[in-house]
Amino acid sequence: MNNFLFTGQIIENKNFHLSTIAICNETNYCEDYEIECNGNKTIKTIATGFSIQHNEDWVDPRREQNENYCE
């Protein structure tokens, strides 16, 4: 793991892009996912293996209130 850097930033190549985002349940227990997109379409969603319990008012700064992760 020492050679990896998790940034939450998007890697972009024309229509394909890759990003990470937290997907949380109603108690704000969140798991990080890698989202692969082609334009506005989700191609693949892969769990990164990282999870955390946040306080109830926490919102992932990498995401807007939109459920479509590829927009």
Kindly report, residue by residue over 27-42, the tens digit of the pLDDT. 999 999 998 888 888 8
Contacts of 58 (CB under 8 A, 6+ apart): 28, 30
What are the residue ranges spanned by the domains of the chain?
A: 11-53
Taking all residues of the chain, what is their mean pLDDT, rounded to a whole number?
A: 79
Residue ranges in the chain modelled with pLDDT below 70:
1-14, 63-68
* Core vs surface per residue 32-53: b (16+ CB within 10 A) or e: bbebbbeeeeeeeeeeeeeeee
| pLDDT at residue 27, as a whole number | 93
CA distance 49 to 59: 19
